[in-house]
């Protein structure tokens, strides 16, 4: 992700960047005026962006279909929950647990990738789907004979982040501004997002990134040119999983509670839809898809019922049903008229355009 040498010298580029930075800094306080719930929704949207960027390495860069990606999210969340709660009596600081969770998820990604190296397409999707369900069932049943995950009850009273005197679980006042826990997490998540975007950009432009793209385009040709497809595919699974584990740890801290119900198949499908709808392989497209699919359902949740009451005077269709119908229709229309995604990678856009002709 190289920036042209004259980019920062162009005043037309600097002004929008400054405006965007100011908007992002002020955003949580503006949302807090509407309700703290919207700050939390924004935080979860950023978490989904982090998850989507991790899955984009596997699906967008390397072209490996993964339907069990939420399992790595679960691994990171439970790692944080076990090491920062009364469940095991361990209370390590978050800056130690997050790397541990990312490492454990990375190992899990390598474990998943090792037996699937010769699988492609639908077969790979089925195996990864099974892996995701195995992890969820494992978390749901490891309460006896040794209580490791506390089964379906989940792990509660998870420690929040703490940096010196700043406790992310408490409300502070700074210069007359009320800084709540969700606002503190917002800034931490944005910092983590910046780091992950930079890492993704460097990976994409590196030799490893080009090897992933070669495998995605034609694995046989890539192997014939000397690329070690085995190791490169394993690296894609491991790198993508590590971002999922990192996101899971932050999710556990924000929620203060984790249970197997948070890591169902629908969540994997949602993250995959974010990557595909945004534009596979394009970092900014994936971010756009994740933000859109995170906020649109919540906006519909708050508007479907009032609109029906205003138009008809009563509820004709259950808000949840109508919300999902509108959401599904939006996905269908997007795939019909923008099959490469909202903001596709240039190579993918050219391929889709050529195929349409």
Is residue 12 scored above 60 in pLDDT?
no
3-state secondary structure of 328: helix
With pLDDT > 90 as the criterion, what percentage of the chain qualifies?
48
Return the pLDDT at 330.
Answer: 80
**Tokens 């992890």 correspond to what residue?**
135
Render 84-141 in DSSP notation, one character per residue: EETTTTEE--HHHHHHHHHHHHHHHHHHHHGGGTT--HHHHHHHHHHHHHHHHHHHHH
Is residue 2 scored above 50 in pLDDT?
no
Q: Per-residue pLDDT averaged across 182-210, rounded? A: 93
Return the pLDDT at 348.
Answer: 63
How confident is the model over 79-138, as pLDDT tens digits?
999 999 999 889 999 999 999 999 999 999 998 888 887 788 788 889 999 999 999 999
Is residue 140 scored above 50 in pLDDT?
yes
Higher pLDDT, 82 or 145: 82
Is residue 346 scored above 90 in pLDDT?
no
Q: Which of 111-125, 272-286, 334-348 has the highest mean pLDDT?
A: 272-286
Render 135-154 in DSSP notation, one character per residue: HHHHHHHTTSSS-SS-GGG-
CA distances from 322 to 102, 155, 290, 312, 315 (A): 38, 33, 21, 15, 11
Q: What does the block give as tokens for 301?
A: 């949740």
The DSSP letter of residue 180 is -
**11-356 fold:** ABC transporter involved in vitamin B12 uptake, BtuC (1.10.3470)
Output the average pLDDT for the chain: 87
Return the pLDDT at 5.
Answer: 44
Is residue 169 scored above 80 in pLDDT?
yes
């Amino acid at each position: 992700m190289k920036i042209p040498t004259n980019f920062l010298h162009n005043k037309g580029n600097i002004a929008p960047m400054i405006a965007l930075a100011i908007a992002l800094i002020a955003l949580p306080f503006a949302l807090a005026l509407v309700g703290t719930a919207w700050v939390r929704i924004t935080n979860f949207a950023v978490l989904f962006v982090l998850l989507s960027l991790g899955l984009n390495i596997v699906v967008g860069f390397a072209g490996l279909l993964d339907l069990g990606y939420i399992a790595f999210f679960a691994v990171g969340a439970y790692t944080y929950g076990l090491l920062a709660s009364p469940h095991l009596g361990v209370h390590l600081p978050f800056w130690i647990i997050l790397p541990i969770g990312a490492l454990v998820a990375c190992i899990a990604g390598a474990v998943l990738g090792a037996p699937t190296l010769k699988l492609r397409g639908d077969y790979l999707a089925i195996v990864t789907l099974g892996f995701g369900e195995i992890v969820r069932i494992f978390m749901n049943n490891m309460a006896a004979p040794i209580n490791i995950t506390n089964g379906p009850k989940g792990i509660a009273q998870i420690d929040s982040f703490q940096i010196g005197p700043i406790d992310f679980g408490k409300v502070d006042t700074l210069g007359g501004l009320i800084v709540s826990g969700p606002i503190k997490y917002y800034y931490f998540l944005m910092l983590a997002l910046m780091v992950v975007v930079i890492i993704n950009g460097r990976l994409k432009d590196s030799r490893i990134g080009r090897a992933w793209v070669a495998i995605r385009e034609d694995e046989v040709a890539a192997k014939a040119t000397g690329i070690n497809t085995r190791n490169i595919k394993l690296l894609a699974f491991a790198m993508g999983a590590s971002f999922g584990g990192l996101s899971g740890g932050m999710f556990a801290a924000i929620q203060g509670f984790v249970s197997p119900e948070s890591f169902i198949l629908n969540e994997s499908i949602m993250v995959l839809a974010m990557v595909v709808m945004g534009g596979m392989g394009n970092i900014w497209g994936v971010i756009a898809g994740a933000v859109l699919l995170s906020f649109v359902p919540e906006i519909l949740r708050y508007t479907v019922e009032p609109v029906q009451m205003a138009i008809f005077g009563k509820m004709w269709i259950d808000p949840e049903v109508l919300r999902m119908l509108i959401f599904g229709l939006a996905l269908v229309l997007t795939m019909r008229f923008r099959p490469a995604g909202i903001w596709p990678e240039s190579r993918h856009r050219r391929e889709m355009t050529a195929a349409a002709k």
